[in-house]
């Protein structure tokens, strides 16, 4: 979606005059190349934009673009700021993040602006001056085959700070005063960017909403390519219908553990509490389009390896496997072309390995051996740890500055295992001595049945940003997050999401009704650390 003006007039005739004559911001670590602006009147959005509600009203705002570069980096970074008319501004600023290998998206500005926020996003220079889709990963490799460390740094955290400073300058000029409060909003890569902002620039934002954060991308990148390697080396591609049968079986096995059979897996420690053996499905017949197939022992072995996650021949576990109950199609996708199955790798994972790790645009990843994969995995960790790893993200200064960090994660996340976030939270709690001390500024909620950022069968958080604003501005920390969704049979499912480490427990009544579950009491003391990487899947 391009944020371009329509020819329609609006109820804000003074917007054109206000939306002009901006002065370039002064940035300590970057040089501003240009600043342009124009009013946008009654912008009608396309009918379907992923992640956005349908039937949104038209948008009217001042669109400002700041173009900048970083010394010898030879990069061109675009920061776009969307400013609602003064009559509609709520006095707040909201920065938005990206996803996958992208630093930001223009459509992420829509909901904040409609809600009265001044909002911004940045491409971080990763579009190479609007010539590529950053999800391809092409930006990660220089023409001479070396790693583009400047753009890696931009994605890691530098572009976040540039955007915040430039946006606050523009907001001050447009409204004649600074924003009363500044917020971050991002999911996946955008969630990781939120944690990076808290760690590297602890005073940039008063509140950070970081959903399903891609912490430790140096592990996530190669781990999300693991299913493709497994199928190639086990000599068989698994059709979607077979993967779906395994997903249904996992849900049927683990669903009753919370006391209700509702197709939602509520326990974030399912790797420890629910034992599923893929071999039990061997010989089962599955309907696939216009034919029927029988699940093989090889397919069961492949599923077991995907659920277990990448593990070396010596048995060393490198990262988490697919979350129990998550769809396989995200990172283990296959499809039929001319009646032949072909793998459908997760695009950012392929781009990460292709352009950042091996830096070989022509490498045939469908033939990657286990040995080559494990070597690439080690290279990924070496390259990515200092830029995109979780270890450098110390959020203690954000705590000291009075900031609030709110996260939620879908327990059926198909791309980023929820355990990675929960372990990070436990590390913070351990450093502070208790969950209660952590919850003074940092809270994580778990969403049963919800996929990556959205989707799945579970209730989606409804007003997470509202909860964060209430926490920041009024000191009312959320104990639960309201959530809801429409089920496949048309029923409305309502449920409050629990504050980690609490878990939902069924009480009584219909499982899809609000109040049928309660959040169990959290432990008063920190529990002994559990290894959520431990192999629980029976092979």
Torsion angles phi and psi, residue 94, rounded to 5: -130, 115
Structure tokens at 364: 């045939």
Q: How far apart are CA 191 and CA 196, in angstroms?
A: 9
6 in catalytic set: no
450, β-bridge pairs: 456
413 in catalytic set: yes
DSSP H or E segment with residue 59: strand 59-69
DSSP H or E segment with residue 154: none
Site of tokens 């080396």: 233
Counting Cα atoms < 13 Å in the Cβ hemisphere of 317 gives 15
With the CA atoms of 250, 253, 258 and 263 taken in that order, what torsion angle do they form, in degrees rounded to the nearest 10? Answer: 60
HEC letters along 462-530: CCHHHHHHHHHHHCCCCCEEEEEEECCCCCEEEEEEEECCCCEEECCCCCCCCCCEEECCCCCCCCCCC
- Give yes or no for a contact between 294 and 229, defined as CB atoms under 8 angstroms apart: no
Structure tokens at 111: 């909901």
Q: Which of 258, 439, 452, 512 is catalytic?
A: 452
Q: How far apart are CA 236 and CA 366, in angstroms?
A: 12
Structure tokens at 195: 């944690």
How far, rounded to the nearest angstrom, does the alpha carbon of residue 111 sit from its chain's CA centroid? 17
Structure tokens at 238: 């698994």
Q: Which of 37, 188, 216, 419 is catalytic?
A: 188
452 in catalytic set: yes
**Catalytic residue annotation:** 188, 413, 452
């Amino acid at each position: 979606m391009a944020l371009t003006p329509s020819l329609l007039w609006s109820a804000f005739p003074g917007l054109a005059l206000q939306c002009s004559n901006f002065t370039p911001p002064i940035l300590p670590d970057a040089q501003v190349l240009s600043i342009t602006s124009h009013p946008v009147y009654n912008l009608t959005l396309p009918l379907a934009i992923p992640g956005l509600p349908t039937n949104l009203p038209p948008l009217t705002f001042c669109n400002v673009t700041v173009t900048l570069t970083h010394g010898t980096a030879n990069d061109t970074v675009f920061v776009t700021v969307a400013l609602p008319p003064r009559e509609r501004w709520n006095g707040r600023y909201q920065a938005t993040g990206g996803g996958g290998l992208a630093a930001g998206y223009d459509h992420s500005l829509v909901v904040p602006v409609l809600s009265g926020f001044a909002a911004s996003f940045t491409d971080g220079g990763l579009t190479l001056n609007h010539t590529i889709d950053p999800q391809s990963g092409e930006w990660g490799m220089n023409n001479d085959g070396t790693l583009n460390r400047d753009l890696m740094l931009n994605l890691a955290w530098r572009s976040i700070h540039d955007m915040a400073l430039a946006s606050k300058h523009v907001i001050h000029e447009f409204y004649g005063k600074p924003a009363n409060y500044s917020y971050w909003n991002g999911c996946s890569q955008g969630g990781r960017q939120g944690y990076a902002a808290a760690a590297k620039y602890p005073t940039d934002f008063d509140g950070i909403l970081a959903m399903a954060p891609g912490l430790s991308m140096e592990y996530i990148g190669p781990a999300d390519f693991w299913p493709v390697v497994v199928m190639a080396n086990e000599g068989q591609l698994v059709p979607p219908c077979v993967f779906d049968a395994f997903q249904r079986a996992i849900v049927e096995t683990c669903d009753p553990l919370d006391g209700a059979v509702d197709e939602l897996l509520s326990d974030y420690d399912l790797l420890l509490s629910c034992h599923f053996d893929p071999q039990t499905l061997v010989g089962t017949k599955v309907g696939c389009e216009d034919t029927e197939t029988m699940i093989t022992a090889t397919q069961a072995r492949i599923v077991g390896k995907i659920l277990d996650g990448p593990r070396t021949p010596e048995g060393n576990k490198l990262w988490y496997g697919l979350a129990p109950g998550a769809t396989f199609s995200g990172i283990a996708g296959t499809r039929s072309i001319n009646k032949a199955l072909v793998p459908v790798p997760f695009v950012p994972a392929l781009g990460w390995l292709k352009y950042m790790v091996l830096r070989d645009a022509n490498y045939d990843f469908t033939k990657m051996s286990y040995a080559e994969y494990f070597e690439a995995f080690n290279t990924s960790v070496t390259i990515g740890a200092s830029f995109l790893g979780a270890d450098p993200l110390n959020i203690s200064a954000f705590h000291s500055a009075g900031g609030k960090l709110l996260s939620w994660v879908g327990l059926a996340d198909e791309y980023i295992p929820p355990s990675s976030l929960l372990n990070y939270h436990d590390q913070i709690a351990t450093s502070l001595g208790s969950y209660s001390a952590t919850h003074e500024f940092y809270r994580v909620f778990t969403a049963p049945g919800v996929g990556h950022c959205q989707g799945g069968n579970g209730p989606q958080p409804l007003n997470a940003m509202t909860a964060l604003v209430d926490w920041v501005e009024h000191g009312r920390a959320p104990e639960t997050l309201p959530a809801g969704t429409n089920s496949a049979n048309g029923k409305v499912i309502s449920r409050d999401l629990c504050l980690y480490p609490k878990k939902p427990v069924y009480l009584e009544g219909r499982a899809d009704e609000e109040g049928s579950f309660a959040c169990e009491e959290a432990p008063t003391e920190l529990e002994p650390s559990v290894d959520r990487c431990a192999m629980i899947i029976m092979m």
